[in-house]
Chain A
Amino acid sequence: AQSVSQHNHHVILSEAASLELGCNYSYGGTVNLFWYVQYPGQHLQLLLKYFSGDPLVKGIKGFEAEFIKSKFSFNLRKPSVQWSDTAEYFCAVNAQNTDKLIFGTGTRLQVFP
């Protein structure tokens, strides 16, 4: 069965610090990979996605993620976080030819000014 692991449950940073959130998945076949963000009081929003091609994916608000197939990883990065990045971040995987997303348990990011 597919699963997604997010190792950091709660991350606290100061503004301008660099961010990297880990995501590993378990599935032997071809997958699509996603990062979703949930700002306080808001719905889940797509941050970025990977389907094929360049394993370095750029998303909105300066976020990027790198797919490393050999490590089954899809870590999220941002060189300099802002207070407005405070949110919960979810990694998700979708096995090709299936209809469901499998989510990780999420990482809560708090950024202090």
Chain B
Amino acid sequence: GAGVSQSPRYKVAKRGQDVALRCDPISGHVSLFWYQQALGQGPEFLTYFQNEAQLDKSGLPSDRFFAERPEGSVSTLKIQRTQQEDSAVYLCASSSVSSGQPYYGYTFGSGTRLTVV
């Protein structure tokens, strides 16, 4: 597609519920990143894939967060047993640079706004 597509745009979850957020990167983009943006803050790195390999997951805040990209294209970020502090915008970005270096900058999606009530 022309851009990075994320779904859903908005998600309201009850505390304790599991959620799954989807990212469709630009076709052919090797690298895929997930970021979390809390209200009033800048995006914070969560995890990075190169094709289907998850090369860096150092930013995942807890073991309730899990990301996958099984076929090297679409990625899913799953949050188990959601808590109020998980409320944020979750951004996906993709890049064509195979080394993972954002040499040309990422292309970001519009994000999924998650609200945990």
Contact = CB atoms under 8 A, between A and B. Distances in A.
A87 to B, nearest CB: 14
Contacts of A34: 102, 105
A99 B101 contact: yes
B45 A101 contact: yes
A34 B104 CA distance: 10
Interface residues of B, number: 27
Interface stretch (A11-19, A62-70, A73-81, A103-111): A103-111
Given A99-B102, A100-B33, A101-B43, 11 more contacts: A32-B101, A36-B105, A42-B110, A43-B109, A44-B108, A46-B105, A99-B100, A101-B45, A105-B40, A105-B42, A106-B42
Interface of A: 4, 6, 32, 34, 36, 42-46, 49, 51, 90, 92, 94, 96-106
